[in-house]
Structure 1
Amino acid sequence: MNTYAATINATEYPPHLKHKIIFETFDQLQPEEAMLLINDHDPKPLRFQFQSTHPEGFDWEYIEQGPTTFQVKISKR
């Protein structure tokens, strides 16, 4: 069973706040903790942003890949 330190349903936030909230939540994770991101589209741009800002500091694992719901486990290394 997967446990997450936080769950973010990105569909509940206005577009201009989504990435801010996601990164703030990630920054609060302890090493080896994970958060679950739920979204209504593939968050590829967010993954690229993580690769730019935290190149060796995260793991990205799809739990569900559409077509209407995407769930991603984002772990802090």
Structure 2
Amino acid sequence: MPTTTLDLRDVPPPERHPKIHDAFENLESGEALQIVNDHEPKPLFYEFQAEVESFDADRYEVERRGDGEFLATLPKK
């Protein structure tokens, strides 16, 4: 699956969700947005599940890579 990666660790928290939504909107169906974050993005998952119809919640994945590094994959239907 084609993937776009967005590293958010240096992005101020108030700017993160708008950046993620913009990047996700620019994906084609079947692609995924991978975000690198400094915490587990559980609130983002729930936000996408509730608000983004094209978000494929069944294929969402998150992996902890170490202290302060999480890799989450947000697939688009």
TM-score normalised to the size of structure 2? Answer: 0.83
Runs of 4+ in 1 over 6 A off after TM superposition: none
What is the match of residue 49 of structure 2?
51
CA distance in 2, matches of 1:30, 1:56: 10
TM-score normalised to the size of structure 1? Answer: 0.83
What is the match of residue 76 of structure 1?
76
Q: CA RMSD in A?
A: 1.8
The answer as to whether partners of 1:41 and 1:66 remain within 8 angstroms in 2 is: no
The answer as to whether partners of 1:42 and 1:66 remain within 8 angstroms in 2 is: no
The one-letter amino acid of 1:7's match is T
Q: Could you tell me the percent identity over the aligned residues?
A: 30
The answer as to whether partners of 1:8 and 1:37 remain within 8 angstroms in 2 is: yes
CA distance in 2, matches of 1:29, 1:36: 11
CA distance in 2, matches of 1:31, 1:49: 19
**Matched pairs, number:** 74
What is the match of residue 15 of structure 2?
17
For 1:11-57, what per-residue CA distance to the aligned partner results, in whole angstroms no more than 9, with x for missing partners?
Answer: 12111110000010001100000111101111001011001112563
Residue ranges of structure 2 left out of the alignment (5+ in a row) = none
Residue ranges of structure 1 left out of the alignment (5+ in a row) = none
